[in-house]
Each structure stands twice: as structure tokens, then as C-alpha cells.
Amino acid sequence: MRFGALSYKTKQFFIVLIKLSIVVGAFYFIYQKITLNNDLSYHTFINYLEQHGVFTVKHMAFLVFLSSINWFLDVLKWQTLVIPIKQISIKNATQQTLGALTASLFTPNRIGEYGAKVLYFKPPLRKRVVLINLLGNITQMGVTTILGCIGLTLFLLNYDIDFNLKKVLRFLTIIILISVMIGFGLKQYPLKIKGQSFSKIKAFFKDYPKNNIYKASAFSLLRYAVFSFQFYWILIIFGVNISYPNAMIVISSMYLLASIIPSISIFDVVIKGSVAVYLFTSVGVNEFIILSTVMLMWLLNFALPSVFGSYYVLNFKLPESD
């Protein structure tokens, strides 16, 4: 039997099976990360949170509030970016944002987010939705890069870090050479994304309303301010004596370095943990505190929203064709 000839009930069965697989997979990976972390014992981590009063109503409510603001800003950013091609409500933007988060949790660099979000739109809009999602990620990465470069510069100027200058220069030279080769390759063999050439992608971004880009960039900046402050606040709860400006120098450096390392979202906590330990131990912060902070940040800003996103995944329906 051809796939196109499958009955409606059979197609619905496959859709339900896929949705259940995504949700079960997301929960399984979350469970693995919490219970099978070689660097941070689950019981030790929970006991440490209890000792510092993280589970008190006061601290937990504030931390969840910050995570809610973080994702609400991302929802507003997505709605702002999509509006030029289709009007969507806050409810729809929330469904698409959190549903895509759940579906992309165990994909490299959350690449699954692109495929998940396009499914909420009819086929004629899907190529533009991919580019809009790319634009949203570019605005967030732009903020991370700019603030991270400032933070990393201040970090290197203010703290005595043992690093090999020759290795750093060699690494930068390799990056520059790769960038030049990629640029030459794109010129000779035009890049295609979802069947669109680089020139068409460039034209799309050129014609895209600039006000929406400015608003999306503002939401990205606000998101950065919220989750970086949340990281700092957790350090304070854990008894770290560090000023906000000094903490931001290290935090911004950490997010910059962690963001340029390819990873699966579920292992994001490992990547950020390794980078954070190296940077924060250089300024005298205990390694266990940093690992606990990174883990708690991951639970609040990825695992918890994914739980809510699983509801939207299970209730997902393909848009009806015209």
C-alpha cells in the first residue's frame, strides 16, 4: 500500500505515535540528565538545594518567575517575528515556542526547533518560517556575542588566567581560514536552505520589516538580562560573595564560550558546566556550587518548560490545507 493511500485513521495513528515518541524521549533524557550525571550526584544535588533553602516558597517562586519571564519574552519575540507573514496570538506563539522546545530537546544545537515550528504553518509559509526562526536565533546569538566579547575582554584584563597565547592565536587563525573558505565556497556554490539559494535568503532578510528585527533584538536583550540575573541570583542563594558587575563578566564570558560549542540541548548543562567551572574557579568560586547552579538553571529554563511543552506536542494538529 502506498503511503498516500493510507486511511485517515492510519495517518492519525502515526501522528499520535510520533507525538508520544517525542514526549517520551524528552522525559527520558531529562530523567537521565538528573539521575545519571557523573559530575553531580542527584541526591547530593537535592540535599544541597534543601540546605540552602532553594525549595522554600520565597526562593522557588522567584526563580520560577524569572524562568517564566524568560520564556514569555521568547514567546513575544516569536510572535513579533512571525506577524509579517501571519497574524498569531500569544496563545499560538506559546504553543509553537514551547512545543518546539520539547521536540528539539535532544537534537544537536536544538536544530529540531526549525522542523517543529514549520509544522504549525501551512506549506506555502514554511520556507519563510524557517528563515524567520533563523533570524530569531541570530538576534539572540548577536546579543550573546556582543556582550560575551565585552565580558571576555574584561575577564582577561582583570583576572590572571593561565592560557597559551600561541595556541589561542593558532585557534583564531584556523577559524579565520575556515571562514574564508566557507565564504569562497558559498560564492562558488550558492548555499540552499529548504531549496532557497543564498541570494534569495539574503533578499528575504533585506525585505523583512526592520522594526520587527529591532523589537526581536530588544526581546533577546531582555531575555539575556533575565537569565543572566537568574544565574547570579542562584549564586547568591548558594552563598557566593561576588558583586553583580564581576559576576556578569564571568557569566557573559561563559555564555559566549558555551554557545560556540556544538552540542545536543540535553547535554547543554555539561558544556556550560565545564566552561563555567573553568571560569568561576579562576575567580575563587567552588566547583560544586557552579555545577549545581548550571544544573538548576537547566532544570528551570529547559526541563520545566519542556514539561509544559509536552502538553502542546500531545495536542498538536497539522494545519488544515486550503
pLDDT in tens, 163-206: 554 555 555 565 556 555 555 554 554 545 555 566 777 888 88
What integer pLDDT is reported at residue 51 of this predicted model?
A: 87
Which of 168 and 60 is assigned the larger pLDDT? 60
Q: What would the mean pLDDT of 65-90 be, rounded to a whole number?
A: 96
Residue 241 and residue 114: Cα distance in Å, rounded?
41
CA distances in angstroms from 171 to 157, 243, 244, listed in the order given: 20, 32, 31
- Does residue 147 surpass a pLDDT of 80? yes
3-state secondary structure of 196: strand
Quick: pLDDT tens for 26-56: 666 566 666 666 667 778 888 888 888 888 9
Is 62 within a domain? yes
Residue 269 and residue 87: Cα distance in Å, rounded?
35
Q: What would the mean pLDDT of 153-159 be, rounded to a whole number?
A: 86
- Does residue 8 surpass a pLDDT of 60? no
- Rounded to 10°, the helix 57-82/123-158 angle is 130
Q: Could you give the number of structural domains in the chain?
A: 1
What integer pLDDT is reported at residue 203 of this predicted model?
A: 85
- Does residue 6 surpass a pLDDT of 80? no
Is 6 within a domain? no
What integer pLDDT is reported at residue 3 of this predicted model?
A: 43
Is 93 within a domain? yes
Q: What would the mean pLDDT of 247-269 be, rounded to a whole number?
A: 75
- Does residue 25 surpass a pLDDT of 60? yes
In terms of phi and psi (left: phi > 0; alpha: psi -120 to 50; beta: otherwise), the region of 194 is: left
- Does residue 321 surpass a pLDDT of 90? no
Q: Which residues contact 150 (CB under 8 A, 6 or more apart)?
A: 252
82: pLDDT confidence band, cut at 50, 70 and 90? very high
5: pLDDT confidence band, cut at 50, 70 and 90? very low
Q: What would the mean pLDDT of 59-68 be, rounded to a whole number?
A: 95
Q: Domain limits at 213? A: 16-26+41-158+209-315
Lowest mean pLDDT among 105-109, 115-119, 167-171, 311-315: 167-171
Is 201 within a domain? no
Is 65 within a domain? yes
Is 215 within a domain? yes
The pLDDT mean for the chain works out to 80
Share of the chain above pLDDT 90, in %: 37
Q: What would the mean pLDDT of 248-258 be, rounded to a whole number?
A: 90
- Does residue 120 surpass a pLDDT of 60? yes
Is 10 within a domain? no
pTM higher than 0.85: no
Is 227 within a domain? yes
Q: Which of 226, 273, 218, 219 is nearest to 62 (CA)?
A: 226
Quick: pLDDT tens for 123-136: 899 889 999 999 99
What integer pLDDT is reported at residue 191 of this predicted model?
A: 47
- Does residue 216 surpass a pLDDT of 80? yes
